[in-house]
Structure 1
Amino acid sequence: MTSTETKFKLTEDWTVVALGFTIIILSLLGLIIPVPAVKWSNTNELFDKVLSLGNLSKFLYQFFLVLVIAILGALLMRKSIQKIFIVVPTVYILTILALIIAGSSAMRALNLEGVIFSLAIGLAISNFFKLPRWFVENLSTELFVKIGLVLLGTTVIFSDILKAGSLGLIQALVVVLSVWYFAFWLCKKLKVDQELTMMISSAVSICGVSAAIATSGAIKGDPKKLSYVISMVLITAIPMMIFMPYIAHYFNFSEEVTGAWLGGSIDTTGAVVASGSLVGETALKVSTIVKFSQNVLLGIAAFAISVYWTYTQKTADQTTVEKPTLKVIWERFPKFVIGFVGASLLFSFFLSKDAISEVKDSLKNLQGLWFALAFTSIGLETKFSELFDKDSKKPFYAFLIAQLFNIVITLIIAYFLFGR
């Protein structure tokens, strides 16, 4: 055995857990990364506020953290760091450009999230220009998005959910189970392949992008299929976010029912907050609680999916079913989910309110940044010719029908639980 083979090396998922908690611990120890301003209404605000030297220095602090974390990740996984000094700055600059575009008053009026522009910029570049293969191969898409998921755990506070009552948890459980099994059944009927079936079912029923990524990790899914599902989630989230509040207003739904409907139907947390804000304070609170309740189920769902996938997969000869031993289940289980659950438990039960309030804004901003970096990377490595070919019609139909079922069943459950 060579000395290189004996050197310490972490898998990507364990690296994500280590890096995510490094960011959390540094924040708790007082290393608070300032939140840069990205919102502007006119050119004067753009140059005097967003592009001012003081604000640009905040972007620089952010970039330095991202670069250090990326280098640490490469070292822990025994990967070359040479290309990082080109790839990471490029992805960061494109991402900040996307966030600044999303921060304009015109885009905010449309309630469009920054990650949508991150994905769009990446897709535009990858489809109109030929990127070097080494550049695409060194994009840290999964590392970025999984770090974002670990940091997402810091926002899932069990006491906040329980204070709002058990109705949100009940709805989340009923919706997730019913919608997941319907989507799974539908995909099977349409003969969608197994990996897409699992990712679509989880994305529609649980929490969109986060659930798709967790499921992909649990089944070791194809990154291109994951990009396809994420694209569908974002594409459908926009019209749902805009039109559902107006539908609720037209039918005179109460804010409680509307909030529960939005929180249970719309797949991305940011879109839920944006649509809830269009309705009112009560709707915003209820929608956020319901969405957080679904986020709580993410870790449980990832574990269940990893067990199911292990049990159903066959070996190369397609005759012997792999036994779901504890060792095999553990090998397939997405370890970054441990980081998500651990962060949630830490912030739910072990930290004081004062400690949480000091780091909450910074960690929330960093969580959004990691997701935005990941979406820029997804766009840069995705081509429309590969994403939406003739074999993509059935998965697309399955996703749309499952989403429609999600909207209807969630409204019925929300009306039953929250209607008075």
Structure 2
Amino acid sequence: MSSSKTFSISEDWVVVLLGLGIVFLALSGVIVPKPSFSWSNTTELTEKVFAIKNLSAIGSQFVLVFVTAIAGATLLGKNVKSLLVVLPVVYVLTLFALLAAGNAVVKDYNLEAVIFSLGIGLLISNFFRLPQWFKNALSTELYVKIGLVLLGTTIIFGDILRAGSLGLIQALVVVLSVWYFAFWVCKKLKIDKEMTMMLSSAVSICGVSAAIATSGAIKGDAKKLSYVISLVLITAVPMMIFMPYIAEWLGLSQEVTGAWLGGSIDTTGAVVASGSLVGDKALEISTIVKFSQNVLLGIAAFAISIYWTYAKSVDGETKQEKPTLKIIWDRFPKFVIGFVFASLLFSFFVSSESNAMVKDSLKSLQGLWFALAFTSIGLETNFKELFGQENKKPLYAFLIAQTFNVIVTLLIALVLFS
């Protein structure tokens, strides 16, 4: 990997290149057909889903995903050889999820493919021991972010400006109140400073990305970071599944529900999945609200760096690295640029005729990337590793802070988006 360091590019920029590459490929006429996974009985399954034309469309999507993933691994200097084995396995598992979600009875219950993807992955990872090289080849964040860049093609920029301003207000209030509450809870439970910083950022800002950014800003312990990420991923699962039903039970509108989901669920992929369970408007608002929080990540990392630079660590030594404005740019989630660019492109420059030609293909590919991401999340999440930890205090702190987050975000969403 050291030989590839001469050409270094971050994952977020790779996502922008690959995501927009797929978009421009479609606009230039290379349109991958949308396969159908809808069926209600074995006859339809055989005649529609397993028809030669549909299998050809599934194969075409696989080729595009495979080539894109290989390009991403190459640009990031990752092991391509492992990917050649792992991605086909993840793709086949994801196809089972898509088939399950395509059943007419399942559709009546509004269960999306990502739930089945997650379930299949969790089932395998918790009952079978996967080799480390297999887990290392899983690129969850890459898949989620490519899907999010493609999601930009379906969201009109005017709506982003309108909902984004409200989302930014919500994000500021939620991030500040939840961060300080989480920090206070950790302090009361006597959790060490490194874990406190990572946990507070994860629960209040944007989950995994915030934990990683905070860990980088304070040069945190990798094991503590892994623990926080596991907490984020596992708590996101029940929230993703049950919050849409709680919102329906409370009689919330799609706008309020979307703002609630986007502001309280910690992983971007889980927000997208949960929003899609409710409806298109909820998906749009939840994504925009989550992006508003993502935008604050660079600023938060900068503030945390300042605090950590001048504060004493547990052993009494001060941190040496001085924060600069460059940290804001380094921590800024670049895939948001790809999302906004795609949205601008389809809002103002792509004709309605061209949009009609590529819309179904890009929407299908977006859903596929999300499904692949959730299969990967399932495969890399092990409940035993998390709950086998001797020290349960961070778990208690996270759950208390997350409960506070859910309540505060709901109240703010009701005020701003009703």
- Whether TM-score is above 0.5 comes out as yes
Cα distance change on mapping 1:39 and 1:298 into 2, 3 Å: farther
Which 5+ residue runs of structure 1 have no aligned equivalent?
278-283
Give secondary structure in 1 for the equivalent of 2:286.
Answer: helix
Residue 17 in structure 1 maps to residue 20 in structure 2: no
Cα distance change on mapping 1:292 and 1:377 into 2, 3 Å: closer
- 8 Å contact kept, 2:295–2:332: no
Residue 122 in structure 1 maps to residue 121 in structure 2: yes
- 8 Å contact kept, 1:176–1:294: no
Q: Distance in 2 between matches of 1:326 and 1:264?
A: 26
1:61 shift after superposition: 0.8
Give secondary structure in 1 for the equivalent of 2:81.
Answer: coil
Give secondary structure in 2 for the equivalent of 1:24.
Answer: helix
1:160 shift after superposition: 2.4
Q: Which amino acid aligns with 2:235?
A: M
1:418 shift after superposition: 5.7
Q: Distance in 1 between matches of 2:255 and 2:8?
A: 50
Structure 1 partner of 2:70: 71
Structure 2 partner of 1:231: 234
Structure 2 partner of 1:132: 131
Greater CA deviation, 30-39 or 337-346?
337-346
* Deviations 1:324-379 (CA, angstroms, capped at 9, x unpaired): 11344444444444434443444445444544444333323222222221222222
* Alignment equivalent of 2:246, drawn from 230, 243, 247: 243
Cα distance change on mapping 1:289 and 1:329 into 2, 3 Å: closer
1:266 shift after superposition: 6.2
- 8 Å contact kept, 1:307–1:329: yes
Residue 308 in structure 1 maps to residue 308 in structure 2: no
Residue 86 in structure 1 maps to residue 85 in structure 2: yes
- 8 Å contact kept, 2:299–2:328: no
Structure 2 partner of 1:218: 213
- 8 Å contact kept, 2:94–2:371: yes
1:21-420 residue pairs with structure 2 within 5 A?
21-162=20-161, 170-171=169-170, 174-175=173-174, 177-191=176-190, 211-219=206-214, 220=216, 222=225, 225-248=228-251, 268-275=271-278, 285=281, 287-288=282-283, 290-313=285-308, 318-391=317-390, 393-417=392-416
RMSD after superposition: 3.7
1:74 shift after superposition: 2.6
- 8 Å contact kept, 1:172–1:293: no
Greater CA deviation, 64-73 or 358-367?
358-367
TM-score, structure 2 length as denominator? 0.79
Q: Which amino acid aligns with 1:42?
A: N
Q: Distance in 1 between matches of 2:97 and 2:414?
A: 38
Q: Which amino acid aligns with 1:237?
A: M
Report the identity percentage: 55
- 8 Å contact kept, 2:40–2:103: yes
1:395 shift after superposition: 4.1
Q: Distance in 2 between matches of 1:341 and 1:293?
A: 10
1:216 shift after superposition: 4.2
Cα distance change on mapping 1:378 and 1:112 into 2, 3 Å: same
TM-score, structure 1 length as denominator? 0.79
1:294 shift after superposition: 0.3
- 8 Å contact kept, 2:259–2:285: yes
* Deviations 1:206-251 (CA, angstroms, capped at 9, x unpaired): 6xxxx32432453457456424312211212222222331233xxx
- 8 Å contact kept, 1:156–1:344: yes
Aligned length: 401
Cα distance change on mapping 1:186 and 1:133 into 2, 3 Å: same
Q: Which amino acid aligns with 1:138?
A: A
Cα distance change on mapping 1:66 and 1:118 into 2, 3 Å: same
Give secondary structure in 1 for the equivalent of 2:84.
Answer: helix
Q: Distance in 1 between matches of 2:165 and 2:129?
A: 52
Q: Distance in 2 between matches of 1:298 and 1:239?
A: 22
Cα distance change on mapping 1:177 and 1:351 into 2, 3 Å: farther
- 8 Å contact kept, 1:50–1:56: yes
Q: Distance in 2 between matches of 1:112 and 1:369?
A: 15
Give secondary structure in 2 for the equivalent of 1:30.
Answer: coil
Q: Distance in 1 between matches of 2:291 and 2:143?
A: 21
Q: Distance in 2 between matches of 1:258 and 1:78?
A: 40
- 8 Å contact kept, 1:238–1:271: yes
Q: Distance in 1 between matches of 2:45 and 2:193?
A: 47
- 8 Å contact kept, 2:259–2:289: no
Q: Which amino acid aligns with 2:301?
A: S
1:56 shift after superposition: 1.6
